[in-house]
Structure 1
Amino acid sequence: MAPLAGDFTYGQWSAVYNALSFGIAAMGSATVFFWLQLPNVTKSYRTALTITGIVTWIATYHYFRIFNSWVAAFEVQQAGGDYAVSVSGTPFNDAYRYVDWLLTVPLLLIELILVMKLPAGETASMGTKLGLASAVMVALGYPGEIQENLAVRWFWWALAMIPFFYVVYSLLAGLGEATAKQPESVSGLVSAARYLTAVSWLTYPFVYIIKNIGLAGPTATMCEQIGYSIADVVAKAVFGVLIWAIAAEKSRLEELSKPGRR
């Protein structure tokens, strides 16, 4: 954990404060929603929806920890008609994000594969390959994130992009045939989930290189925290809503296909 710069403005500090607070609210409310919806989907899709809720629950916990660490790292005092912000000396622990991603990113891919209800062999194969690739991606990204040396940051970024592109390619192309086999009313939702994941994930490498392209100090920290928070909410809470929508629609179709139902 690199020491924080000491010249944050109150606006910069509060922007991060509010972004982290938004992350807590979005992830927490999403968790409650997903788990309350479990009785409303058939047994085939409850595992996927349960994992969806686990992902946002883990994220809620880590956002609490990041938020508390951010608050503890600063002292905010009234100074005239405004507020003055100074570092308290307590380190800001941003490593919670990587712990979160190491746990949740593989689960995000697994929940998509499960809700698609592919053949058992294909589910196991795709889940294993994409889960491992995403875990390697996160593990390779962290050493560069905590470095100040630009050459080292770029080196680890480039390594992390190898499994990153493999996962994104698999989402956009590898699952295309399986998506086409989904029911007509579901295939559009599955495609939306795949593309949303790919687009939201593309945010992360660009936020990662903020410090590589010249930004530094409070501005870089603020942009990183806000960028990662927005990307997390889209990749987990919004993506989870699509997983629920797919599960709900496929459950409806299964109920209608039962004998005696129209």
Structure 2
Amino acid sequence: MIAELIEMFSYPFMRHSLLVGVFGGGLLAFLGIFVHLRRIVFLGAALPQIIAMGIAAAVFVSVPPIIGAFVGGGLGILLLSRVRSDSHISNDGWIGIAFAAGASVAIVLIAVSPVPDGHALRIFEGKDILGTSFGDALAAMIAAGSVALIFALFWSRLVITGFDSTMSSTLGIRVNFWNGLFFLCLGAALAVVMNTAGSMLAFSMLVGPSAAALLLFRNFPCIVITAVVLGVVSAVTGLTASYFLEIYHDISLPGGPAMATAALSTVIFAWPVSAYMRTRAVKKQKSDAAA
């Protein structure tokens, strides 16, 4: 088994895919904690579709897709961070409109693109993570390092505004600024991963491992560590499964969807464990009360 793993990662494209999966998956799993705590998961689903629209537009006008990814991410952040409910349309309604508009416009742009580009289709399918380059891996590492540095420098501000914006305003903290910085980190992370592996993998890594960590723990440091570890393990597991099924069983399993499935599977395993832990805690409380 060890020999097969060494052989697998002897190929440069496998090493590049692993780096993208590990750094991109760990980064999105970390940011996903704040997405869940802020209760903006639906916004996290809409933003990738707007980024997809940006990538499709870049292909349509023949510019590098990564430029379209960042432009789309910036546009999505600008629009979605300023969503306000009124008497007619709720916040979720506006986010739903953005989700549908981004996806539909992206499909139209891909369909009418004068030069068909497999990369454009990849933003939805996520099948081609095995075709990543060293540049893609470097972009994922830079994004992860940059976000880690930002959170290390401004941890208390980013956490408190994520937990309770009302209390933050009372304390004189500039909530809009710190929210904007968080959305900037989220948009950049999604843009980098989507440009490489597609929206399916990006959103799965964003919501899966973080949800599993929140189910398993209440201590925030434990949640952070668990989410990042699960994101990394999901990437490695999915990539390894894709390789071995293709080589030894002649089953074509795309790397991106394999990683996405592994990321979402963490919730399936965490759910019964969480239920068992809650039941055990209730029984312990009752026994302590009886004593």
Q: Same fold (TM over 0.5)?
A: no
As a proportion of its length, which structure holds more strand?
Answer: 1
- TM-score, normalization: structure 1? 0.34
Higher RCO, 1 or 2 (CA under 8 Å, sep at least 6)?
Answer: 2
As a proportion of its length, which structure holds more helix?
Answer: 2
- TM-score, normalization: structure 2? 0.31
